[in-house]
Amino acid sequence: MDIKVVELDDKPTRVEFQLTQKDFNRLGNDLTFEQMSCQAEISRKGETFYLVGKYIVDIQATCDVCLQPVSIHLDNDFDLNLFAAEDRIEPESDSEISVREPNIDYYEGQDLHLSQYFEDQLLLDMPISIRCQEECQGICPTC
């Protein structure tokens, strides 16, 4: 889902859309889903955009311990400050990111590629270790 930057004005723009796994480039083959319901509200202030997003998705995965199928339900919100990529200043050395700082991302050209921001957020929200249950013992039946 793309939104043309020139079509956005000072009033918030709200859109609802669906994404499928085909819309994502970085989601591994071990995670599958049919449809991700998305809502976005985009506000503009000059050349900076503020994106408030919400998504709901049911992902089919495999337990990392016993390899059984697992369903993961995610229903999350996020917000991003979007700046033009050409205004990006690379730090001269490593920099520390505070959890109190606003979430920042960048856009290139004249389009906001919403599916990219929603894919990023989905990847950030996925559990590091997927388990069918907290006390899963794994494949060995005697352990």
Is residue 68 within 8 Å of residue 62, measured between CB atoms?
yes
Alpha-carbon distance of 117 to 129, in angstroms, equals 23
Q: Give the mean pLDDT of 28-37.
A: 88
Alpha-carbon distance of 142 to 138, in angstroms, equals 10
Q: How confident is the model at residue 92 (pLDDT cuts 50, 70, 90)?
A: low
State whether the Cα torsion 101-102-103-104 is positive or negative: negative
Residue-wise pLDDT for 96-138, tens only, equals: 555 555 688 888 888 899 999 999 999 999 999 999 998 888 8
Residue-wise pLDDT for 56-79, tens only, equals: 999 999 999 899 999 999 999 999
**pLDDT for the residue 85:** 79
pTM of the model: 0.83
Q: How many residues does the chain have?
A: 143
